[in-house]
Structure 1
Amino acid sequence: MSEIKKVVLAYSGGLDTSVILKWIKKTYNCEVITFTADLGQEEELDGLEEKALKTGASKVYIEDLREEFVRDFVFPMFRAKAIYEGRYLLGTSIARPLIAKRLVEIAKKEGAQAIAHGATGKGNDQVRFELTVMALAPEIKTIAPWREWNLNSRKALITFAKENGIPIPVSKEKPYSCDRNLLHISFEGGELEDPWQEAGEGTYLLTVPPEKAPDSPEIITLGFEKGNPISLNGENLSPATLLKRLNILGGKHGVGRIDMVENRFVGIKSRGVYETPGGTIIYIAHQDLEGICLDRELLHLRDSLIPRYAEMVYNGFWYSPEREALQEFMDKAQERVTGEVRLKLYKGGVYPLGRRSPFSLYQSDLATFEEDEVYNHKDAAGFIRLQGLRFLGAKKNA
C-alpha cells in the first residue's frame, strides 16, 4: 500500500464507485483521480465532476469516446461477425478494453501507480479490465475493492456512504444491474435471477415490444465499405451517428431483444436481457452482403473462427496477440465486402430484401433455372461419382 500514492478510478458517480473513491482514499491514504467515459450511455453527466471532487477526487476526467468506441472497437468486432454463444452481440464486453485503455493512458500521464474499478469478484469485467492493464502497462497495479473490503451488501455500502457524507440517490433503486452504451443496454438481477420467470417491463428501455411496434414496415438501405457500415438511406454518417440512428429505428420496431442464460468466464451461468437494436440491424445486413461478396471457402473458414474470436472479446483478451492476429485475417476477408443492403424492419424482425455490390460473385447466368450456355448439367454426374467414392469403399468393408 505504501507504494501507491496516486490511483485512477473508473467512476460512474453511482453508489458503488462513490463509496470506492472514499474507501480507496481512506484505505490506501492516497490521491484518487476519477475517469468517466461517455460511450453513449445517455446517463446524466451534469454535476458528476462536482460530486467526484466533493467525495474526495483530486482531479476529474470526463471524456466523450463515442466515435472511438464505435470506429475502433465495435466495427472491428462486427467485421469479424463476432457473436457469443450464438446470440450475444458483446455490447458490454467490447466497451471494457477502451475504458481500461484510457485508465492506463491517464495513469501514465498523471504518474499514478494503480488503477481501480468497481467490478465484483463474480463477473467478467474484473478480468477484462485487469487483462487490459497487464497487456498495456504491467507495471501499473490494479485495486479491486470488491475483492478486498468487507462491504458485501448494499446495506453496508449505504451505511458507509452516510458515515462519510456521500450523497445517496433518493429515487427508488431499480432491482437490476445495468450497463449501457451506444451498442446496447444489459439487465441482470431482480426477477432475472430466476431463469423460468419472464422478464419484467423494466428490463426493456431501448425497444418497444414487437406486438406494439408499428403495423407498417419500414424500408431502409444500409451501405458498407470493406465490412464497415458507412451510410443510411444514401447519407454518409460517422460511426457513432450511424449507430445512434439505427438504434432509434430498431427501437421503434422492437428489433434486437435477447433474453438468454450465458456462461461467464469465471464459470458461473448468468441470465441477462440485452437490447441491441442498431447492432442487430448491422449484423444482419452485413451477413447478407457477405453472401454475394465472399468466396465460399473464405466464408466457411471465417465462420469457423467466429466462436474463438467472440470468446476472446467476451473473456477480455482484446489486446492479446492471438486476437490481433486473427483481426488481420478478418479484415483481409472484408476487403471486398462493399455495397448496399435493402432491409425491412417489422415487428421485431429485420428482413433483407435486396443486396448489391461492385464485387458481387453472384452470376445470374449460372444460377438461373432458365436455359443457359455456360453450365453443362451432365458434368454434375462425374462430380457426384467422385464425391461418393469413399462411400463405396466403406460399404464394401462393412
Structure 2
Amino acid sequence: MSGSIKKVVLAYSGGLDTSVILRWLQDTYRCEVVTFTADLGQGEELEPARKKAEMFGVKEIFIDDLREEFTRDFVFPMFRANALYEGQYLLGTSIARPLIAKRQIEIAKLVGADAVSHGATGKGNDQVRFELGYYALKPDIKVIAPWREWDLNSRTKLIEYAEKHQIPIAKDKRGEAPFSVDANLLHISAEGKVLEDPWQEAPELVYSRTVNPEQAPDKPEYIEVEFKRGDAVAVNGEQLSPAALLTKLNELGGRNGVGRLDLVENRFVGMKSRGVYETPGGTVLQAAHRGIESITLDRNAAHLKDELMPRYAELVYNGFWFSPEREMLQALIDKSQEHVEGTVRLKLYKGSVTVVGRKSPKTLYSLAHVTFEEDQVYDQRDAAGFIKLNALRLRLAKAARG
C-alpha cells in the first residue's frame, strides 16, 4: 500500500483532524504530502496552517485566495437558479466542495501528485462531493479517505494520536468540542454534539454571523440591490465585485438578524442530520433575485425554472456539480437570465427580509393592462371566450359522466 503512492495533495485546514491526517499519511503511505488550504472567506487566519505544515516538513504548501472565484463561478450561478435543498437550505457547504476539489486536482497536476486526500468522514455528504469532483476532473486519480481507513474513530483517539506525535492541539479542542463548524463566505454551519437532539433549541452560542433577531435594531433598514443578467452587481448604488458584494450583504443581513435556519435534512448517504445554518447575505440575495425575476421573467419561463429548481438543488447537494445534467440545467437557467436586470428595494427587520420595491428597464409589468381604473388596452369581454375554451373539457366530462 505505502509504496504505490509517491505524492498526495491534502485539503488541509490546519485543525486537529487534518493535522492528524497529514502525519498519518506520512507514516502510513511513506509519501510526500503537499498541503492545500483554500481561503473561501471563512474568516480565519490561514497563516498558522502554513506554519503547522512547515513543522511537519511539508515542502510544497498552497494557500489560495479563492473568494472571488467561489462567488463568481459557483455561488452566483447557483443563485440564478434560486436553489434551495428541501425547500430551505441555501447549500452553503455543498457549493464550496466542487471548487476545493477542482483546485486540488489542479495542484495535483502542477506538482505531479498521484493522489489526493480529504478529511471528510465516512458518514457525511462531503466525502461524496469531494470524490465525485476528483473523479470527474481526473478519472485516474487515487483518493485517500483516512476516516474510511484508519481506526482513529473518535475524538479521544485523535487527541491521543496527536499527543503521541507532538501535534499541537488548540486548547478548545482538548475536550469534547460543543459542535462541528464549517464556514465560508456564503454561510457558516454547525452540527453535532449539543445539536444532535432535534427537540432541543440551539443555544445562542451556536450563532456567530447574525445578531439575535430579538436584539436586532428596532428600526428597519432599507437597502437596494442592482442586478445584470441575473447576477447582483451593486448594493446601495455601489458597484462591487462578487465577493465584496456578498461580504457587504453578509454585514447588512447579519446585523439585522437575517439568515438563521435550524434544519433536519436528508443526507445523500441515507441518514437524517440536524444542522444550524447562518446565511445572512445569501438570504438577502435570494429574496432580491426573486424580486427582480418577478417583473422581468415570462410567467411560463419562471414556472419552468421553479419546477427544475429542486432537481438542480439536489444535484448540488449530492455533489454532482461537474455532471452533464447540472451543466445542461445551468445552460437553461443562464438563458433565462438574459433580461433579469434592474433594482430591488428590500426591508431588513429583526430576522426578516421583505421585497418592498422593484424596477427594471426590461420590466414585463404593464400598469396599463393591470390597472383597476379605466384602460384602453384590455377588453374585458375577451375573458369570456378564454374562460369558455378552458372550461370546455370540464363541461364535456361532466356532461358525459353526470
TM-score (structure 1 length as normaliser) = 0.99
Correspondence 1:40 to 2:68: no
- Per-residue CA shift, 1:311-351, capped at 9, x if unaligned? 11000000001111111110000000000001111111111
Correspondence 1:363 to 2:387: no
**How far 1:76 moved relative to its partner?**
0.4
What secondary structure does 1:13 align onto?
coil
- Equivalent in the alignment of 1:124: 125
- Equivalent in the alignment of 2:82: 81
Correspondence 1:182 to 2:185: yes
CA distance in 2, matches of 1:124, 1:8: 20
What secondary structure does 2:95 align onto?
coil
What secondary structure does 1:290 align onto?
helix
- Equivalent in the alignment of 1:285: 288
The structure 2 residue matched to 1:380, chosen from 376, 383, 397, is: 383
**How far 1:56 moved relative to its partner?**
3.8
**Counterpart residue identity of residue 76, structure 1:** P
CA distance in 1, matches of 2:27, 2:161: 12
Deviates more, 1:50-59 or 1:337-346: 50-59
- Equivalent in the alignment of 2:138: 137
Trace 1:50-199 onto structure 2 (pairs within 5 A).
Answer: 50-171=51-172, 174-199=177-202
**How far 1:375 moved relative to its partner?**
0.9
**How far 1:59 moved relative to its partner?**
1.8
Report if aligned partners of 2:296, 2:340 keep a CA contact under 8 Å in 1: yes
Correspondence 1:26 to 2:44: no
**Counterpart residue identity of residue 187, structure 1:** A
Q: Percentage identity across aligned positions?
A: 65
CA distance in 2, matches of 1:190, 1:255: 25
The structure 2 residue matched to 1:311, chosen from 295, 301, 314, is: 314
**How far 1:139 moved relative to its partner?**
1.2
CA distance in 2, matches of 1:191, 1:9: 30
**Counterpart residue identity of residue 371, structure 1:** E
Unaligned runs of 5+ in 1: none
Trace 1:229-378 onto structure 2 (pairs within 5 A).
Answer: 229-378=232-381
What secondary structure does 2:64 align onto?
strand
Report if aligned partners of 2:342, 2:359 keep a CA contact under 8 Å in 1: yes
Report if aligned partners of 1:21, 1:56 keep a CA contact under 8 Å in 2: no
What secondary structure does 1:331 align onto?
helix
Report if aligned partners of 2:315, 2:321 keep a CA contact under 8 Å in 1: yes
CA distance in 1, matches of 2:171, 2:52: 15
CA distance in 2, matches of 1:230, 1:268: 39
CA distance in 2, matches of 1:372, 1:122: 62
CA distance in 2, matches of 1:311, 1:56: 41
CA distance in 1, matches of 2:354, 2:392: 41
Deviating 4+ runs (over 2 angstroms) = 55-58, 171-174
- Equivalent in the alignment of 2:13: 12
CA distance in 2, matches of 1:363, 1:372: 11
What secondary structure does 1:9 align onto?
strand
Report if aligned partners of 1:217, 1:344 keep a CA contact under 8 Å in 2: yes
CA distance in 2, matches of 1:388, 1:343: 40
**Counterpart residue identity of residue 110, structure 1:** V
Unaligned runs of 5+ in 2: none
**How far 1:393 moved relative to its partner?**
2.2
Deviates more, 1:50-59 or 1:268-277: 50-59
TM-score (structure 2 length as normaliser) = 0.98
**Counterpart residue identity of residue 68, structure 1:** E
Report if aligned partners of 2:7, 2:114 keep a CA contact under 8 Å in 1: yes
**How far 1:394 moved relative to its partner?**
2.2
> How large is the Cα RMSD of the aligned pairs?
0.9
Report if aligned partners of 1:8, 1:106 keep a CA contact under 8 Å in 2: yes
CA distance in 2, matches of 1:169, 1:355: 49
**How far 1:353 moved relative to its partner?**
1.3
**How far 1:58 moved relative to its partner?**
2.9
- Per-residue CA shift, 1:173-227, capped at 9, x if unaligned? 5311111000000010122111110001121100011111000111111000000
Aligned length, in residue pairs: 398
CA distance in 1, matches of 2:248, 2:319: 28
CA distance in 1, matches of 2:283, 2:257: 11
**How far 1:275 moved relative to its partner?**
0.3
Report if aligned partners of 1:21, 1:57 keep a CA contact under 8 Å in 2: no
Report if aligned partners of 1:22, 1:56 keep a CA contact under 8 Å in 2: no
What secondary structure does 1:266 align onto?
coil
**How far 1:385 moved relative to its partner?**
1.1
Report if aligned partners of 2:10, 2:33 keep a CA contact under 8 Å in 1: yes
